[in-house]
Amino acid sequence: VLSMNELQEITDDISKLTIVHEILLNSDFKLQVASFSPDSLENRVKETLHEAFWDNLEEQLSASPPDYTWAIQLLQEIKEALLSLLLPRHNQLRSQIEEALDMQLIRQEAEHGALDIHGLTTYVLGTMARLCAPIRDEEVQGLQSLTDPTQLLREIFRVLGLMKMDMLNFTIQTLRTHLQDHTVQYEQKKFQQLLDKLPSNLDRTREWLCKAAAEVSASSSQPPPHPAVSGSAAAHSPGAASSSATVPSLGSVLNRGYMNLLCWEPGQKEYPEVGDARLQEVQAQVNQLTIIAAVLLVTNGMCGSTLCGSPGIVARLKRVTKVLLEGLSCTRCVTLKALEDIGDQVLQEVSRTLSQLGYPAFTTDKCASLKGQIKSIADKGNAVRHVIEQRIHSFLSLFISPDGPNSQKDFPKGLDTIQEELLEVGRRFGSVIQHNRQLFAPYYSGILKKVSIFRHMAAFLCIN
């Protein structure tokens, strides 16, 4: 039983691992300002509290004499925000900010009614202009036209928040190269710490690897060269074949396991603990591309290359199909209703193109045939879908092989319409797998060694 402190510590470790993993593998990773839906309760509460705060500040500054209690607190936070934007080499500017925003002096001026809010905000705006990224220049310049002190302080806070986010994202980009050199060691260390606290945390990974190892062994096993030999233990012992079978290599087992993840059925089994969320995203993209390619192939077969070669029609059909698949949680289990809708939209696009090109419209029977063939793609055993899926998986397997995708000279037939999207998915798949393989290789190797030992023990017991 874990205590609350231990649970919190584990949660913090997982959060750190997740952030480092995201920074490394997602080149577009950026921190974003938290935002809520305009109609959400969180947003209404936040807006109400903010308005109350700024209204109260306006009342304080409009009083006679002015009350600077909250204004001084805001200036303190503005000073801290400016200092947080400085780099280590900005020693002179740090001294200038400390001198210009001397909080002790500001409090004394406020007590004597001599606080110059306008002068202080003017200095703050000038410093912001020096520190902000080029993308914020226009916003900082726009603040200089504000004359109301409450509104000005409010906008300064807003823009400073954006500038702090810019600085954090700049730091992340700067650290990415350093992380690439050390992240595997860091993640392995953190992962081992988690395993020490939760020692049974690789049960699903063990099951996943054992399944892959069994499949590799089964596919590579060959019948004995002399099955008619009598009198030998091998000819009569059911365990002899397994004892002589070659233990599959770690690389072949991992490759089979990774490809199996592309066919993972959600809800049937839990995902391996070492599985990356990006692999699930890749699986969703692969399933979507399978349906899109199958729809386009069926349409091309029904309409002919002349119609499907018309400028723009393939792009429109892809866009329509993708939009109708977006709302589905699992495109591998795409429903008949979804494909009926896709069939209707495809037929509309085809009919519009036929009319534009001056061709006769499809007959009722041909329309029904086209829609029926598209609808039948919902069946996982559908011949077109099966072939497309096999070719996509075969192509993606090249991205995790030693030779890489260059080992295949020609793009798979029937996938030309999704070539650009499939290449992007393949590159992403290869990147995620490469990192996963480096990170968890020691654990994968340890699990397979145990599997191999148990197999030899079982074979030995069968023979004896």
**Residues 260-280: tens digit of each pLDDT:** 888 887 666 777 876 667 788
Residue 244 pLDDT exceeds 50: no
Q: What is the pLDDT of residue 35?
A: 73
Among the listed ranges 102-116, 288-302, 330-344, which one has the minimum average pLDDT value? 330-344
**Residues 296-317: tens digit of each pLDDT:** 999 888 888 777 777 788 888 8
Taking residue 67's Cβ as centre, other Cβ atoms within 10 Å add up to 16
Among the listed ranges 62-66, 139-143, 228-232, which one has the minimum average pLDDT value? 228-232
Percent of the chain with pLDDT over 70: 73
Residue 231 pLDDT exceeds 60: no
Residue 289 pLDDT exceeds 80: yes
Band of the pLDDT at 392, cuts 50, 70, 90?
Answer: very high
Angle between helices 41-62 and 69-84 (to 10 degrees): 120
3-state secondary structure the chain: CCCHHHHHHHHHHHHHHHHHHHHHHCCCCCCCCCCCCCCCHHHHHHHHHHHHHHHHHHHHHHCCCCCCHHHHHHHHHHHHHHHHCCCCCCHHHHHHHHHHCCHHHHHHHHHCCCCCHHHHHHHHHHHHHHHCCHHHHHHHHHHCCCCCHHHHHHHHHHHHHHHHHHHHHHHHHHHHHHHHHHHHHHHHHHHHHHHHHCCCCCHHHHHHHHHHHHHHHHHHCCCCCCCCCCCCHHHHCCCHHHHHCCCCCHHHHHHHHHHHHCCCCCCCCCCCCCCCHHHHHHHHHHHHHHHHHHHHHHHHHHHHHHHHCCCCHHHHHHHHHHHHHHCCCCHHHCCHHHHHHHHHHHHHHHHHHHHHHCCCCCCHHHHHHHHHHHHHHHCCCCHHHHHHHHHHHHHHHHHHCCCCHHHCCCCCCCCHHHHHHHHHHHHHHHHHHHHHHHHHHHHHHHHHHHHHHHHHHHHHHHHC
Mean per-residue pLDDT over the chain, rounded: 79
Residue 235 pLDDT exceeds 50: no
pTM listed for this prediction: 0.60
Q: What is the pLDDT of residue 125?
A: 92
Q: What is the pLDDT of residue 88?
A: 84
Phi-psi region of 113 (alpha: psi -120 to 50; beta: other; left: phi over 0): left
Band of the pLDDT at 1, cuts 50, 70, 90?
Answer: low
Q: Could you tell me how many residues make up the chain? A: 464
- Dmax of the chain from CA atoms? 112
Band of the pLDDT at 332, cuts 50, 70, 90?
Answer: low
**Residues 100-131: tens digit of each pLDDT:** 999 999 999 888 888 888 899 999 999 999 99
Band of the pLDDT at 407, cuts 50, 70, 90?
Answer: low
Q: What is the pLDDT of residue 241?
A: 42
What tokens does 202 get?
């690789």
* Cα four-point dihedral sign 243, 453, 211, 435: negative
Q: What is the pLDDT of residue 428?
A: 86
HSE of 42, CA atoms in CB hemisphere, 13 A: 4
